[in-house]
């Protein structure tokens, strides 16, 4: 059946003899158009092209396979119409050897055919990712160790400045990071040398001498233009009927100053004008000229003007905190450290290459770089095509690149080297969508696409064709996407201006159906915090339960289209997309399954922690060395051993003085229970047999034999999640086979290999079972969803904070600007970001947020019929939404999460919006979740009742009746808990005292009346804030704080410490904002800090220490004194001094006097003291509470 193409699609198919860039929006049918263009080239009436004379590169092997299959099918269809066509028969034969591949596939083709031109051994193999990571770690350690031994003062200074601890630990990772960024450049060595030159400012240097001068100026002017739009908006309001027209004179002055600022031609001039700005006073509201002005409009103008002033203050904070001369001097003084850093990376690069050549292996990056080395030659610092490149340029009639927006600089250099551009015959075809460029972490360079997007069509060099008609989604989905992105995507953030040309146009036909409007489901953070103590759900759990409720509704009421007809929604129609899977996907799968909804997710981490893999690895460790106690116990207790905990306890108790392996040996010889003894003998006989076989079998063969003889695969398949578990085991088997290709062989080396992978926190991610999980809701990352489509999409986690961790790293990198380091004065113990680091930080922030915008676009455009966004937001964020305005650049840059973009961009309630917003009650979500769980339990109860109902014989009925009526003789003891937390006991004792007091002194509850305009809602509840403060105090560097606090800028010291905790992952951005810096300032002024620091220095400070102790029942909860009750808890801190132990507890409760805290927590600290005395054997001399609310230490 012939296809009807749009005018733009036909232009893509027919255009010849030029470079062609196709900007193909989501769902625009680009793959079909690309295939048709290939067929039109093959069957061109005047100049037909053999299919193997086309180079067609795609992003993935799967996409390449699909492309080849489509071309083959299309050729077969045409041959049916014209069976005798010899040309088509030839193409059908050639298509199987045509270069339809990934860019790495093409690179390997080049290397394997031209290895001799670069002196490469042709018997190379591609190294395993894990193997390369370990090789890099080893190499970096060698380089750093050699540098330490050299005693080079320059290196010592570098290590002191950027390393951790006295030995400068952590430098290995810094070197690997610089290397991996360098090899993203076509000329890594030159890129590294440029890193150094960027810091080499002349003594009398100016902004013109700084390599990032133009970027700084452009950023400042963009920000000033953004502020200018605010004052123009204020001026428009002032000129409205009833507006404060008398303000216009001052506003015009503001506008003039900001216009001059935005038009500055140099950074020096910008700074001069910024520092010279002065604001005119607005007329008083009581002035005559203000008599007719509307008060609300007046306030609106003043709010906008104040917003403008705050923004102007922010303009100088990044680059103008210190004088220009000081900034340039810091660059010069940091140049030496950059030089050392670069030399380390170059030495690492050279050593790593030596090791790879010795092993005759290539890694992922080598494939590109060696192909580039074959295809180019360097002349005067530039790469020019080689003679080999000329061969390819002559052979390939057209070079076609799919997903061009995800190309990197090395790939671009490779493809440009074999194009015919240098011969005056453009033959490049590039298709992609810059709005879907989401692989920045792989060094994708969307700027390559954007440069052509802007310039093609304006001058010679190429043609651009835009495909914006979407043939995938309902118009309701496209309307939602367009409404949001009209107002949030722009060239500075996201890459292009999302205007009418970029907007998606509906091209798909669907039957009419109500309830297809896109939705935004919100949970209120404050309500979640309030109810968290009762339900104890994490944010992810709360959101997952909300989504589960919506999915059940869709199962009841929802419809989707199949073969042009509506049908009910099924689980497989739904996908839940997450920005990151870690910590969320497992939760979503569990919650949905608990609520009776089949769900499946592939995890990218946690492979080594899965039970089925952990058990096998433990067994392999036992085969390697049976005396390892933990692996031995795990193997005995796991599926391969089958011993119960009680049986292991008996074995352990039989020989309490020896190790566990010796205890097993002892029990095999003299064990009391014959059956247990025989099973233990059988287990070790099997271990000995496999150990013997390990000497002549490969790891893969040994593992396969274990699996087959033990029936392990069948066992794991029978467990919950059996398909995933079996796939994980099979993946370990495949990894063992891959390992045999590495230089080392045998069980010993394989076990060491896995142990080192775990040591360096390298993970394979669980096996991919997509397509095998049956009819289930699919949970996947947004990146994994790219190229896929589902009838119903939930874009979840929209309230989750962006990851801005990059900006806090010691070293940050940029493809254009190089490396950003701090200026460090080791003698003064002072550091601050250099000018270059500030520039890179700003650019990376813009690039990172731009990518977050594009990730959001990808997520929203996966939906065919129904799009549902979900997230948790604060009342403040929700109240700020529904403005329907184009967001300012500063608003976009300041956003903490996607909801901070989406909510303000949607139309106000009085206007028609394409997105229906619903604030979902947490109480309702909890009720529904409980109801579902109860319904499931009732179903089980009904099944049990029916089973019992069939047992009609009198003996069975009597037996059941006796069981149901049986009473335990010591029932009173069962009412007492066997384990309490300290908090539970404290509450129990406090409740008893309160109830007794209420009986004697009944008192009417007084609820203070707080006017609405005074009452404020905090972002975190007391419980949540208390958790954050405890985290800070657990990780606070008390020794460092005690040294520097008295003589430094106290608030800045606290700020830096909190920033450090964020940088090392102890605090999130949200938690960071919950900490009042002044609270910590007050704490650090107390003698308590010095006590903690002194104890820490001597190794006598313990923080967040868990404990479990046993107490007689009457002492714990008033129960039977003969029963032992376990008490568990966590002590915030305790430290040892010469005359005893001091216990410290941190409290954030809002109280008016110390007496309240004493009464409230006396019991709790009494238990803590007892636990410390019992476990350490030392005397507790003091029990202290530090109250952040009161800012003082309280002695109990």
Tell me the binding residues for ATP.
24-31
User: Which residue pairs, CB below 8 angstroms and at least 24 apart, start in 258-262?
Assistant: 258/224, 258/227, 258/228, 258/231, 258/308, 258/312, 259/228, 261/221, 261/224, 261/228, 261/315, 262/221, 262/224, 262/225, 262/228
Q: Can you read off the two tokens belonging to residue 340?
A: 């050392």
Strand partners, 494: 490
Task: Return the closest-CA partner of residue 723 out of 774, 792, 670, 681.
Answer: 774
In SS3 terms, 798-849 reads as CCCCCCCHHHHCCCEEECCCEEECEEEECCCCEEEECHHHHHHHHHHHHHHH
In SS3 terms, 642-688 reads as CCCHHHHHHHHHHCCCCCHHHHHHHHHHHCCCHHHHHHHHHHHHHHH
Q: Can you read off the two tokens belonging to residue 445?
A: 């360079």
Matching residue, tokens 């080893």? 138
Q: What is the Cα–Cα distance from 197 to 185, expressed in whole angstroms? A: 17
Report the sign of the C-alpha dihedral through residues 933, 939, 940, 942, in that order: positive
- CB-neighbour burial class of residue 187 (10 A; exposed 0-12, middle 13-18, buried 19+): buried
User: Which residue pairs, CB below 8 angstroms and at least 24 apart, start in 548-556?
Assistant: 548/591, 548/592, 548/595, 548/597, 548/929, 548/932, 549/924, 549/925, 549/928, 549/929, 550/521, 550/794, 550/868, 551/592, 551/597, 551/777, 552/595, 552/597, 552/928, 552/932, 554/792, 554/866
Q: Can you read off the two tokens belonging to residue 932?
A: 């579902």
Three-class SS state of 703: helix
Binding residues: 24-31
Three-class SS state of 1150: coil
> What phi, psi does 895 have (nearest 5°)?
-65, 140
Q: Can you read off the two tokens belonging to residue 825?
A: 């004065």
Report the sign of the C-alpha dihedral through residues 305, 310, 314, 320, in that order: positive
Report the sign of the C-alpha dihedral through residues 493, 498, 502, 507, in that order: positive
- Strand intervals (E) in 134-236: none
387 contacts 417 by C-beta, under 8 angstroms = no
Q: Can you read off the two tokens belonging to residue 1026?
A: 């208390």
Q: Can you read off the two tokens belonging to residue 406?
A: 């995800």
Task: Return the closest-CA partner of residue 1035 out of 1013, 1063, 1014, 1015.
Answer: 1063
- Strand intervals (E) in 738-796: 777-781, 790-795
C-alpha Rg value of the chain to the nearest Å: 35
Q: What is the Cα–Cα distance from 559 to 513, expressed in whole angstroms? A: 8
Angle at 163 between CA 160 and CA 169, to 5 degrees: 125
Could you tell me the CA-to-CA distances from 784 to 3, 50, 60, 265 in Å, in that order? 30, 34, 12, 45
Q: What is the Cα–Cα distance from 166 to 169, expressed in whole angstroms? A: 8
79 contacts 85 by C-beta, under 8 angstroms = yes
Instruction: Give residues with Cβ within 8 angstroms of 480, minimum separation 6.
Output: 518, 860, 867, 914, 915
Q: Can you read off the two tokens belonging to residue 202?
A: 């002349």
Query: Helices 213-238 and 248-262: crossing angle, nearest 10°?
Result: 160
- Strand intervals (E) in 998-1139: 1101-1112, 1124-1137
699 contacts 750 by C-beta, under 8 angstroms = yes
Task: Return the closest-CA partner of residue 819 out of 205, 141, 174.
Answer: 174
């Amino acid at each position: 059946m012939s296809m009807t193409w749009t005018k733009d699609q036909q232009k893509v198919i027919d255009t010849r003899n030029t470079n062609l860039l196709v900007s193909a929006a989501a769902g625009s049918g680009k793959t079909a158009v690309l295939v048709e263009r290939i067929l039109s080239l093959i069957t061109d009436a005047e100049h037909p092209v053999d299919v193997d004379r086309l180079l067609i590169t795609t992003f993935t092997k799967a996409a390449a396979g699909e492309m080849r299959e489509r071309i083959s099918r299309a050729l077969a269809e045409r041959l049916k119409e014209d069976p005798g066509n010899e040309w088509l028969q030839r193409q059908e034969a050639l298509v199987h050897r045509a270069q339809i591949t990934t860019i790495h596939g093409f690179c390997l083709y080049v290397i394997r055919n031209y290895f001799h031109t670069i002196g490469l051994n042709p018997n190379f193999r591609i190294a395993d990712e894990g193997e390369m990571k370990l090789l890099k770690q080893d190499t970096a350690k060698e380089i750093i160790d050699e540098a330490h031994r050299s005693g080079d003062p320059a290196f010592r200074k570098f290590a002191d400045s950027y390393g951790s601890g006295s030995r400068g630990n952590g430098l290995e990772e810094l070197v690997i990071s610089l290397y991996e960024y360098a090899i993203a450049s076509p000329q890594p060595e030159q890129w590294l040398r440029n890193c150094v030159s960027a810091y080499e400012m002349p003594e009398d240097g100016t902004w013109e001498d700084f390599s990032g001068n133009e970027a700084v100026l452009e950023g400042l002017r963009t920000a000033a233009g953004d502020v200018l739009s605010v004052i123009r908006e204020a001026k428009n309001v002032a000129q409205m009927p009833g507006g404060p027209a008398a303000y216009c004179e001052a506003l015009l002055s503001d506008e003039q100053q900001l216009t001059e600022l935005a038009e500055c031609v140099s950074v020096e001039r910008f700074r001069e004008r910024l520092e010279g700005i002065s604001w005119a006073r607005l007329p008083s509201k009581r002035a005559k000229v203000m008599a007719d002005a509307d008060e609300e409009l007046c306030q609106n103008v003043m709010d906008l003007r104040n917003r403008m002033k705050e923004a102007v203050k922010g303009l100088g904070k990044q680059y103008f905190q210190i004088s220009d001369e000081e900034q340039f001097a810091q660059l010069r003084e940091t140049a030496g450290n950059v030089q050392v850093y670069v030399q380390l990376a170059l030495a690492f690069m050279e050593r790593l290459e030596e090791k790879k050549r010795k092993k005759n292996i290539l890694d992922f990056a080598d494939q590109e770089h060696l192909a580039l080395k074959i295809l180019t030659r360097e002349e005067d610092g530039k790469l020019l095509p080689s003679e080999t490149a000329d061969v390819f340029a002559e052979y390939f009639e057209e070079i076609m690149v799919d997903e061009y927006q995800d190309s990197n600089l090395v790939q671009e250099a490779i493809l440009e080297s074999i194009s015919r551009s240098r011969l005056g015959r453009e033959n490049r075809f590039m298709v992609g969508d810059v709005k879907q460029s989401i692989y920045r972490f792989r060094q994708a360079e969307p700027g390559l696409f954007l440069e052509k997007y802007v310039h093609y069509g304006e001058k010679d060099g190429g043609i651009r064709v835009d495909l914006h008609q979407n043939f995938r989604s309902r118009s309701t989905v496209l309307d939602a996407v367009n409404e949001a992105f009209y107002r949030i995507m722009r060239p500075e953030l996201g890459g292009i201006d999302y205007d009418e040309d970029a907007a998606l146009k509906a091209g798909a036909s669907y039957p009419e159906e109500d309830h297809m409007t896109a939705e935004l489901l919100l949970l209120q953070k404050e309500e979640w915090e309030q109810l968290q103590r009762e339900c104890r759900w994490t944010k992810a759990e709360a959101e997952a339960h909300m989504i589960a409720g919506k999915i059940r509704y869709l199962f009841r009421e929802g419809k989707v289209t199949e073969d042009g007809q509506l049908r009910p929604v099924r689980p497989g129609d739904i996908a839940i997309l997450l920005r990151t899977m870690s910590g969320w996907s497992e939760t979503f799968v569990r919650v949905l399954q608990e609520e009776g909804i089949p769900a499946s997710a592939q995890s990218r981490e946690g492979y080594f922690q899965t039970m089925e893999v952990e058990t096998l690895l433990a067994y392999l460790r036992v085969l390697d060395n049976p005396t390892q106690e933990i692996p031995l116990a795990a193997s005995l207790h796991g599926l391969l051993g089958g011993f119960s905990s009680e049986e292991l306890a008996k074995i352990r108790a039989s020989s309490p003085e020896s190790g566990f392996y010796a205890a097993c040996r002892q029990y095999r010889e003299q064990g009391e229970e014959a059956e247990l003894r025989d099973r233990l003998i059988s287990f070790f006989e099997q271990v000995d047999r496999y150990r013997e076989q390990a000497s002549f079998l490969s790891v893969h063969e040994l593992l396969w034999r274990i699996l087959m003889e033990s029936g392990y695969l069948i066992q794991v398949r029978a467990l919950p999640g059996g398909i995933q578990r079996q796939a994980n085991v099979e993946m370990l088997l495949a990894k063992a086979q891959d390992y045999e290709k590495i230089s080392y062989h045998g069980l010993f080396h394989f076990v060491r290999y896995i142990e080192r992978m775990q040591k360096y926190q390298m993970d394979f991610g669980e096996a991919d079972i997509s397509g095998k999980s049956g009819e289930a809701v699919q949970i996947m990352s947004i990146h994994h969803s790219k190229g896929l489509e589902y009838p119903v999409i939930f874009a979840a986690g929209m309230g989750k904070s962006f990851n801005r961790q990059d900006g806090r790293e010691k070293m940050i990198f940029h493809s254009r600007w190089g490396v950003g380091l701090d200026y460090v004065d080791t003698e003064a113990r002072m550091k601050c970001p250099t000018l270059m680091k500030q520039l890179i930080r700003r650019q990376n922030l813009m690039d990172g947020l731009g990518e977050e915008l594009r990730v959001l676009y990808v997520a929203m455009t996966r939906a065919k019929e129904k799009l549902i966004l979900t997230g948790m937001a604060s009342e403040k964020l929700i109240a700020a939404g529904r403005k329907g305005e184009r967001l300012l650049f500063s608003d976009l840059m300041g956003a903490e999460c996607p909801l901070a973009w989406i909510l303000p961009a949607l139309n106000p309630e009085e206007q028609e919006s394409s997105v229906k917003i619903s604030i979902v009650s947490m109480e309702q979500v909890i009720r529904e979740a409980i109801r579902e769980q109860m319904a499931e339990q009732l179903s089980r109860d009904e099944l049990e009742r029916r089973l019992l109902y069939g047992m009609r014989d009198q003996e069975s009925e009597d037996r059941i009746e006796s069981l149901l009526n049986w009473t335990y003789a010591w029932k009173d003891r069962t009412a007492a808990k066997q384990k309490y937390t300290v908090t539970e006991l404290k509450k129990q004792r406090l409740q008893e005292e309160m109830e007794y007091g209420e009986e004697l002194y009944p008192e009417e509850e007084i609820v203070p009346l707080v006017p609405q305009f005074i009452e404020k809602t905090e972002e975190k509840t007391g419980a949540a804030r208390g958790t954050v403060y405890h985290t800070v105090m657990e990780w606070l560097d008390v020794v460092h704080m005690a040294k520097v606090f008295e003589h430094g800028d106290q608030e800045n010291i606290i700020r830096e410490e909190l920033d450090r905790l964020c940088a090392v992952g102890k605090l999130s951005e949200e938690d960071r904002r919950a900490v009042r810096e002044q609270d910590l300032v007050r704490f650090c002024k107390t003698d308590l800090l010095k006590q903690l620091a002194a104890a820490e220095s001597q190794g006598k400070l313990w923080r967040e220490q868990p404990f479990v102790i046993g107490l007689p029942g009457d002492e714990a909860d008033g129960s039977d004194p003969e029963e032992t009750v376990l008490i568990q808890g966590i002590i915030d801190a305790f430290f040892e001094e010469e005359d005893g132990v001091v216990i410290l507890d941190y409290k954030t409760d809002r109280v008016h006097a110390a007496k309240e805290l004493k009464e409230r927590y006396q019991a709790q600290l009494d238990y803590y003291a007892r636990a410390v005395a019992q476990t350490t054997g030392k005397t507790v001399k003091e029990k202290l509470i530090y109250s952040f609310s009161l800012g003082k230490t309280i002695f109990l």
